[in-house]
Structure 1
Amino acid sequence: MVTVVAHPLLQHKLSLMRDIHTGVKEFRELASEVSLLLAYEAMRDLELTPQRLTTPLVEADFPMLSGKKLALVAILRAGLIMTDAIVDLVPAAKVGHIGLYRDPQSLKPVAYYNKLPADIAERRVFLTDPMLATGGSASAAIQSLKDAGAQSIKLMSILAAPEGIAVIERDHPEVEIVVAAVDSHLNEHGYIVPGLGDAGDRIYGTK
């Protein structure tokens, strides 16, 4: 299932990210803000339970988070900007990292790092990767999470291409994808069109 978050604030910020004239500092800030808005939607179904609290006026029951604890897992390197922003929203979440890069010739994912919370099987996992392009890296990362015991996984991306969505739906049909937009297609180099360029390069000022 794909959820496109069409909130006007998010769409405005995404348009600014697309602009070639947006500099590194502003791009990072926008990526963080968009990530928070995506997390707001992705976490809409977190369980709540009443808990007895005392306000300055009365004692009463109020909703508090319950159920499985959370884990934020970034696909390195670009996914870091998303987890760093979202952890401010859910500071009790544990953070993991999966290192993958896309071979420029084969466009296949190559793994080079994997560090996940030991109790990943007991947590709801939110996997972050700004660009869901070919889908190869995200699919491989989801498989790594499953191999480690994760059972509840959502994928959060800023942009997605139909080709990448199709790969996730084929390989991991139970994983919900939460995105800000689904763009037209991939070009011959595997980049999302119209897209916003290489997210990692624009976040870190590299080429």
Structure 2
Amino acid sequence: MTDAPLPRPVLASGFDIPANVVVVDHPLVQHKLTRLREAATSTAGFRRLTRELSLLLAYEATRDLPLEMEQIETPLEPMTAPKLSGKKLCFVSILRAGNGILDGMLDLVPAARVGHIGLYRDPKTLQPVEYYVKLPEDMAERVCIAVDPMLATGHSAAAAIERLKRSGANAIVFVCLLSVPEGLRTLCAAHPDVKIVTASIDRELDGHGYIRPGLGDAGDRLFGTR
């Protein structure tokens, strides 16, 4: 059997992907994302798929975690083996939809610390408004992974990361299910040092700031609201 080339999960044509952006093209990720996009997917199914996708994306988001060696005893002999180095991870959910991704990440790293940043987008200006922040201590000593299903205009993500930097965080990864060129340009311009992990770069934003083709409002679909 001849292996067919894997279709690229990038729906935006003519967009040069920045060096700090990783598009996860694993077949399982792309399959689950397709099921997630479907309008017929139930609230329960949307939650389950989001959780499964976030666990898979977490592998890429944590790829560069530092390791150190320690001496252990296997049932057969002693050996020197790698383990994670330094303080525990910190996952930061950008409320409210970020909580849907948070659950899957914690399945993979249950000992991680968790922070929350509450932002809402002003419907007229599309600018983020902060209403809640709760973060762990010693942020400067932790790798921080900020999560939000959608990177649309990029303003909320940029504001959240700016808030994390003010708290002392200096090793930050941003993870989202969907992005668009507009949002990537905004976030990369504001924070070129931040790695961005996404499952797709969709075509564009519409006049209301929604990702097209997208998957609708992630928060509404996660929580069964309108």
Same fold (TM over 0.5): yes
Structure 1 stretches of 5 or more lacking a match?
none
**Segment drifting more, 61-70 vs 38-47:** 61-70
**Residue type of the alignment partner of 1:29:** R
Q: How does the TM-score come out when normalised to structure 2?
A: 0.89
Q: Percent identity?
A: 57
Are 1:75 and 2:68 counterparts? no
Alignment partner, residue 35 of structure 2: 16
Select 2:181's aligned residue among 151, 162, 173: 162
Select 1:25's aligned residue among 31, 44, 57: 44
SS of the residue aligned with 1:87? helix
Deviations 1:169-194, CA, capped at 9 Å, x for gaps: 11111111100000000000000000
How does 1:39-58 map onto structure 2 within 5 Å?
39-58=58-77
Select 1:120's aligned residue among 128, 136, 139: 139
Please state how far the C-alpha of 1:68 moved relative to its aligned partner.
Answer: 4.3
Alignment partner, residue 134 of structure 1: 153
Are 1:103 and 2:100 counterparts? no
Q: How does the TM-score come out when normalised to structure 1?
A: 0.97
Alignment partner, residue 5 of structure 2: none
Structure ranking higher in strand proportion: 1
d(CA) in 1 for partners of 2:40, 2:50: 15
Alignment partner, residue 194 of structure 2: 175
Deviations 1:5-42, CA, capped at 9 Å, x for gaps: 00000000000000000000011010011101111011
Are 1:188 and 2:188 counterparts? no
Structure 2 stretches of 5 or more lacking a match?
1-19
Please state how far the C-alpha of 1:67 moved relative to its aligned partner.
Answer: 3.4
Are 1:93 and 2:112 counterparts? yes
CA contact under 8 A between 2:148 and 2:175: conserved in structure 1?
Answer: yes
